[in-house]
A and B are shown apart, each in its own frame.
Chain A
């Protein structure tokens, strides 16, 4: 259990969390899901996560805020942004602030899996 990577999934669409949790747990990740950004941040201040998959546009606390918070607390954390519509400026901002990658909805399971594996590989290598 000790070398399992911890993944946090934040999306205000509960289905996304549910499906991805099942998917990633099969791949040997420890997964926690949140539908509210504020709760996720609360959890982040108590606990370390290796990979964060977050939706960009959510109510009060959005994906960019989570990215900033996570990167300040744990510079090594890999943050993967998913969003309902891709705007060039938003993806640029996310990368500038240290996002690992940017996935646009609707995405294929394969697509997400590839990005998460790449992040895991980097983490294990680093």
Chain B
């Protein structure tokens, strides 16, 4: 995905924000709808009120049946119609077209029925007038005796009473009583001409009443329909509102859950999506910091961390280059340093040799010059002494050269063979025994009783031991104690030889130099300055090591270790340069 961090952040923040925004818009729309619906309910309620007004007027009209109430009824129906007409068609579509069609139809029908009823009522009045007129005539006939035989006044009067009752009650009971009485009249006098108009008038009233009743029934049904329709509309609108509320509530709840569930998840995902490359980079840098400089930051991402990773890698490359060149410089410096050290030690060696050789040379030349100058003045004894001095000093110079050659190892290599080091040590002690006696030095020995074999050269080993023992004797001057220890170590890998004296000791600052060639604390002439250097060189040729510890005023101990002879290294072996 080629998204920058800020793109990822915008996406991460936008999605929950969009959910919230859509939720809000939806809710806003819902509330608008509810507002509309509330208006519709109002309209439905108004219509219902109109209808109720119509019904009230209808009832009054049916009761009083006069023109005034008829006019009220018509007015209220017109008011209803007007109310329906002012409703915009869009609203009608929303509320329910069918209901309004029905409402309109029913209202029109209702108006027609009302008018028909009004006509009927007028007819009814005429019929009633007719019945009353004929009834009076019939009554007159009865009282004047002009009536047919068999028709009593009482019967007529009873008939008029029934007629009055019927007009008053207009019910089935009074109707059937009147009807029966009329049939009796017909039975009594089939040819009562005077009765016919009355009977016909009553019959006409019957018909008129019946017609009115049927119209009234129809009118009432239409009224009920009107009422039902308006009630239904109002109810439906209320239901709509209730449904909207439930729906909104549910939607809000869903949105809340969605936000709660998806929001943190989305934020977490976005955060980890942003942080992941940074973490990867951090881990790599940590590994690099721990020393794995060959690692490079991965170039997976295409956001800002890509640039960072590229810069980081470039920086690492540069660092590595610098590191390499530094290492090279350091190597060069080291080489130069080694070279300088070599030169310095060579210089030290050369100046040491010069110093050591210059002394006997000076003695020789001085003596020779003296002899030359004073040849005639010198006695034979003096001449002999001078010549002896020259010989001795020549020997001294020769000895220095020999030791020097020993040290640098250019003399014939010594044959290395299996030998008993204990024996070599004992021979060395014999060589210095006389010196010990002269210097009044006591010898203490702690030496292994049975032979210990190493690979070495008897003469060289003796040279090592004698060198060290002579050093010790010189350190003690006139008296003291020389201790020689020689035993294998615990693991039987080495023989350890310790040569200790109770002499003047060596100061710590000089201790590190005592194995250097021409380093001497002795008076000039007392040593060549090569003894310990030669000893160390020889010890190393025997694959051993030599160390020293000393305390000023108490004494010095030299410790030498040689590896013990191993069976696979059989036979004499020559080491060193030819």
Contact = CB atoms under 8 A, between A and B. Distances in A.
A50 interface: no
B358 A105 contact: yes
A19 B370 contact: yes
Contact of A16 (B354, B355, B363, B523): B363
A36 B365 CA distance: 22
Give the most central of A14, A84, A104: most B CB within 10 Å. Answer: A84
Contact of B366 (A19, A36, A55, A104): A19
A23 interface: yes
Interface stretch (A41-49, A67-75, A91-99, A106-114): A106-114
B373 interface: yes
A59 B365 contact: no
A115 interface: no
Contacts of B522: 59
Nearest to A112: B366
B356 interface: yes
B186 to A, nearest CB: 180
Contact of B373 (A12, A36, A109): A109
B351 A58 contact: no
B291 interface: no
A40 B356 CA distance: 23
B357 to A, nearest CB: 8
A11 B218 CA distance: 166
Which size bracket describes the interface of A in this complex?
A: 20 to 34
Interface in A1-56: 12-16, 19-20, 22-23, 36, 55
A87 interface: yes
A13 B369 contact: no
- The B interface is mostly helix, strand or loop, or mixed, namely helix
A22 B382 CA distance: 12
B170 to A, nearest CB: 161
A86 B356 CA distance: 13
Contacts of B374: 22
B523 A105 contact: no
Contacts of A16: 362-363, 366
B176 to A, nearest CB: 167
B525 A105 contact: no
Given A19-B367, A108-B369, A13 B362 contact: yes
B354 A15 contact: no
B49 interface: no
B366 A109 contact: yes
Contact of B354 (A13, A23, A58, A85): A85
A105 B355 CA distance: 8
A15 B367 contact: yes
B474 to A, nearest CB: 11
Contacts of B365: 106-108
B361 interface: yes
B359 A105 contact: yes
Contact of A109 (B364, B369, B526): B369
A105 B361 contact: yes
Given A12-B524, A23-B370, A106-B361, 18 more contacts: A12-B525, A14-B525, A20-B366, A22-B374, A23-B373, A57-B355, A58-B523, A59-B523, A59-B524, A84-B356, A84-B524, A85-B354, A85-B355, A105-B359, A106-B366, A107-B366, A108-B365, A109-B373
The 5 lowest CB-CB distance pairs between A and B, nearest first, are A59-B523, A84-B355, A106-B362, A105-B362, A12-B524
